[in-house]
Amino acid sequence: VADAGDALAAAVKGGGVPACARALTLVENDEAAADALLRALSGAVGRAHRVGVTGPPGAGKSTIVAGLVRRWRAAGKKVGVVAVDPTSPFTGGALLGDRVRMSEVATDPGVFIRSLATRGALGGLSRAAQDACDVLDAAGYDPVVLETAGVGQSEIDVARAADTVVVVVSPGSGDGVQAMKAGILEAGDLIVVNQADRAGAEELAGEIEAAIALRAESVARPAVLRTVAVDGRGLDELAAAIDAHAKASRANGALEARRAARARSRVRSEVERRVTGSFWNEGGDALDRAAEAVAAGRMTVAEAASRLVEGRRRA
């Protein structure tokens, strides 16, 4: 297994497209093989700039990503995209705005796009998404984009795993306001009000700018950009703003600090996953008995939990 893993790792580092595809399938489906592969790749990880694109479903994230990909390709970059979005998978027809553009990007060997399946807990998916970014990074794709949909804490956390975080909102259906309330704006290094061709866009951008202006002096104040992703308006400016953020964070140490925090958080979640996983694997019927006692009113939740934890300590 180790030899097969090493051969695959070498092919990934060589930039082989089929090797990348195989590696990402392992990351999604085969934990042990993925661990071995990532170990073999580890020395090659860390060169790519990771761009997180997050926001409510339908805001236009995938359309924006497609537009950015075309610009980066025109600039000679090799681009990787990992999408975690059950509502608009990258493999679906709607993805890249229109079919012509999609086939253009999809057949371009300088672009690698992968939608991750959303089965299992988001904790597992978050791990898979970051591992997938590591694979594309090691394969020489730079930048690597991580698109995540939704405004829940876990989606925000996944997006935060990027070097530059772009939060996309759009007018209508109250999504923008909801996104603000959910705290998603705080995660953004850049805020994009997309669908600027639609009613309410300028009001939404104004509200967001007002909210940002109220932040303490010590807190970063992200720029608010307007885009119309379907016709490309504002995307040159967005690409330039991403580039500027990448350069500035590299120069002022913010990138290094963020990567250290990211490594810490990945190790921490992995420990938590293993500890809770092994805890429940080893004592399924103890949980059943405790649950029965709590349901019957013979024990409180706290007492039941204490018993389980103490029982394990003694074992």
Ligand X SMILES: Nc1nc2c(ncn2[C@@H]2O[C@H](COP(=O)(O)OP(=O)(O)O)[C@@H](O)[C@H]2O)c(=O)[nH]1
How many residues touch ligand X under the rule CB under 6 A: the total is 19
The phi and psi torsions of 101 (rounded to 5 degrees) equal -65, -40
Under 8 Å CB-to-CB from 162, ≥6 apart: which residues? 50, 51, 52, 146
How many residues touch Mg ion under the rule CB under 5 A: the total is 4
The single residue among 60, 80, 143, 176 that binds ligand X, judged by CB under 6 A, is 60
Under rule CB under 5 A, which residues in 83-142 are in contact with Mg ion? 85, 88
Q: How far is the CB of 282 from Mg ion (least distance, A)?
A: 40
Site string for ligand X, 85-104 (x = CB under 6 A): --xx-----x--x-------
Contact 37, 8 (CB under 8 A): yes
The single residue among 16, 58, 110, 124 that binds ligand X, judged by CB under 6 A, is 58
Q: Residue 112 has what DSSP assignment?
A: E
150-164: b or e for each residue (b if 16 or more CB lie within 10 Å)? bbeeebbbbbbbbbb
Q: Provide the strand spans (E) within the chain.
A: 50-55, 79-84, 111-115, 144-149, 164-169, 190-193, 223-226
Report the SS3 class of residue 197.
coil
Q: Residue 184 has what DSSP assignment?
A: G
Which partner, Mg ion, ligand X, none, binds residue 131 by CB below 5 to 8 Å per kind?
none
Amino acid symbol at 72: W
Among residues 202 and 256, whose Cβ is nearest to ligand X?
202
Q: How far is the CB of 147 from Mg ion (least distance, A)?
A: 6
The strands making up 50-55's β-sheet, listed across from edge to edge, are 111-115, 79-84, 144-149, 50-55, 164-169, 190-193, 223-226
Under 8 Å CB-to-CB from 248, ≥6 apart: which residues? 254
Under rule CB under 5 A, which residues in 4-63 are in contact with Mg ion? 61-62
Q: Which window, 61-69, 156-164, 250-258, 307-315, contacts ligand X (CB under 6 A)?
A: 61-69
Which partner, ligand X, Mg ion, none, binds residue 194 by CB below 5 to 8 Å per kind?
ligand X
Among residues 173 and 300, whose Cβ is nearest to ligand X?
173
The single residue among 61, 70, 114, 226 that binds ligand X, judged by CB under 6 A, is 61
54 lies in the site for ligand X, by CB under 6 A:
no
Site string for ligand X, 258-297 (x = CB under 6 A): ----------------------------------------
Contact 85, 148 (CB under 8 A): yes
Q: How far is the CB of 201 from Mg ion (least distance, A)?
A: 19
Report the SS3 class of residue 224.
strand
Residues in the site for ligand X, rule: CB under 6 A?
57-63, 87-88, 94, 97, 149, 194-195, 197-198, 228-230
Residues in the site for Mg ion, rule: CB under 5 A?
61-62, 85, 88
